[in-house]
């Protein structure tokens, strides 16, 4: 459970955490990411697709 205020990067944290678990622990998990706005959903999906396909890498999650 994470608590964030408005505009603090909740969606990005959910995506980066999902990608990190997928890459380092197991790709067998299913994640459900809930957003309240369509645009946030689109941006989050694009970011996760890039991370999982290897087109975007985050080096500071070690």
Percent of the chain with pLDDT strictly greater than 70: 84
What is the per-residue pLDDT for 2? 65
User: pLDDT under 70 in the chain at which residues?
Assistant: 1-4, 57-62
What is the per-residue pLDDT for 53? 83
The model carries a pTM of: 0.56
Q: Where are the domains of the chain?
A: 10-53
Do 19 and 52 touch, CB atoms closer than 8 A?
A: yes
What is the per-residue pLDDT for 59? 63
What is the per-residue pLDDT for 60? 56
User: Rounded distance, CA 15 to CA 50, Å?
Assistant: 11
């Amino acid at each position: 459970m994470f608590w964030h205020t408005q505009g603090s990067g909740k969606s990005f944290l959910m995506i980066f955490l999902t990608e990190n678990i997928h890459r380092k622990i197991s790709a067998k998990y299913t994640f459900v990411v809930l957003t309240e706005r369509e645009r946030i959903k689109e941006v989050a999906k694009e970011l996760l697709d890039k991370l999982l396909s290897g087109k975007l890498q985050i080096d500071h999650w070690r």
